[in-house]
Amino acid sequence: MKKIWLIALFMTFAMTVAACSPGQNYTFDGLPVDANLDPNEEVTITFWHRMGANSQALLQSWITDFEAEYPNINVVEEKAAIDYDPLANKIALAITGGNAPDISESYPDHIARYMPSGAPLPLNTFISNPNVGYTQEEIQDFLPTLWAEGTSYDNQGTIYSMPFTKSTEALFYNKTVFDQHSIGEETYTEIVNSEDFKWDDVFAIAEDIKTWDINAVPFGYDSTDNLFISASEQWSAPYTGLNDETGQGEILFNNETSKNMVRYFKDKVDRGLMLTRSLNGDGFMSDIYKTGRSLYMYVGSTGGTRYAYENMSATVFENGVPALYTGGVRAGVAPLPSYDGVTRRQIQQGPNINLYKSGSEQQMIAAWLFVKYMTTAERSLEFSLPSGYASIRYSSYQEDAWSNFGTHTGEPIDTKEAIEWAQDELVKQAIQIFLDNSDIFFTSAVFNLSSDTRSEVGSLIDKIFAYQSTSETDLNNYIDTQYQESYDFLTN
């Protein structure tokens, strides 16, 4: 049934992309070397996004400042959807109608979806242009893995997006508990912050926790999609890729190494050491963690760092759970563990900014200049600090706003302010992970089925985790069957 649905969806999109309106023109040969903004030509550009109220208000203040610097450019921002997938759907329809925005927030998978139309604007000639582009020094100011994500669409180094609000995953843990308990000579805190921190260490801690909190399911993971993808990279299990000869996307996850990886985590679920969001009725792990008991560590997005404290009760914050440990709950954060203690790899996330071809060179230059404006060091930091997203440029971290963030003098006036201060400190620690570990982040291959593959492997691992097998043979047969069905669903 789902195969029929996928075929119907693909055919609908393909026909829609093909049905271009008469006025649509997505041809562009690149920006000439001598091109520049004409200050005497009035230009209007549109920016579609899905920002919340606070971020949208900040964006509007940027537009005011930008238009003061460029009086001939009028920027029209629109909250075109409440989430990324509906935004992508709206842009796909707008492309076919010949009225795409000039700029949008996007994920790489969305750009891959738009590629057949020819609408996404390659940025290489804008970046290298001597009048409106970047110097080599400015390019090197971007965190390298974040910049490199813009080139993940083909094997030719074509840049289709600029980094904007970036995040990764991190291990959040109850530092109060982790400081008080040890395995051998090391506290839990020392173990999770060691250079050779492994998944085996996570579950050794989980087993130890169950000796003093027998009802605990000590470890949780929010996104099983991300678990599958990051663990595949760590286990050296093929997931997806771009063919070296054709440049076409390939689906590669149906292999024994991948199955063994999933068996590893399935064993921990079955032993009551691990919980996932899907096994928790779609409830986030941070909601259990904030009760101060049962779940003492979880992997979640650094973009949601504040949720480690958001709505935590004053009682838990101040006193914890006295029957189990001493002291109020304080959170710690660390990079993800690795499989072997050496191959430290974790997925890079968060939306980018991309541009679309239009009939006007001046319009595209104006849009590019606004993207450059939004991605300056100062504005990147201004956008990231309230959330936990990482600023995208090294020079952001030389700003006073970064140095002073999370630093407080005196004592908080009440528990509410104490929690806010703790949130700020944790956000800064989570963002610091990007600076201290820039070589561990990766992005998977981007092609027309990459988004579907991501969703499918998340569903695959959810089904396997939930399956109640009667024997090892039964489980192995079930895993083989589910892997093959998922692979066939995507490739047939």
| Domains of the chain in sequence order | 2-166+351-402 (3.40.190.10), 167-348+423-491 (3.40.190.10)
pTM of the model: 0.90
What type of residue is 228? Answer: F
As a whole number of Å, the CA-based R_g of the chain is 24
Tokens found for residue 120: 């996404």
Return the number of other C-beta atoms located less than 10 Å from residue 54's C-beta. Answer: 10
Q: Supply the pLDDT for residue 228.
A: 98
pLDDT score of 11: 42
Give the pair of three-digit tokens for residue 20.
């271009």
What are the φ and ψ backbone dihedral angles of 48, each rounded to 5 degrees?
-100, 135
User: pLDDT of 392-446, one tens digit each?
Assistant: 999 999 999 999 998 888 999 999 999 999 999 999 999 999 889 888 999 998 9
Of 229, 233, 259, which is closest to residue 450 (Cα–Cα)?
Answer: 229
What is the length of the chain? 492
For residue 25, what pLDDT is reported? 55
Q: pLDDT tens digits, residue range 329-369?
A: 999 999 999 999 999 999 999 999 999 998 799 999 999 99
Question: Residue 6 has what pLDDT?
Answer: 44
* CB contact set of 269 (below 8 Å; sequence gap of 6+): 275, 276, 279, 465
Q: Which mean pLDDT values do the consecutive 10-residue runs of the chain (492 residues) have?
A: 43 42 61 96 97 94 98 98 92 93 94 92 97 97 94 90 95 98 97 97 98 97 97 97 90 98 98 97 96 97 94 97 96 97 93 92 97 96 87 93 90 95 95 89 90 95 98 98 98 92
